[in-house]
Structure 1
Amino acid sequence: MLRISDHEKKTMEQREKLEQHRPYYTIKTASCIQHKYFMQHIVQYRK
Structure 2
Amino acid sequence: MGYYGYYEYVPVSEKREKAKKSLEKLKKTNPDISPIIIEGKSIASKWWGKA
TM-score norm. by structure 1 comes to 0.45
> In proportion to residue count, which structure has more helix?
1
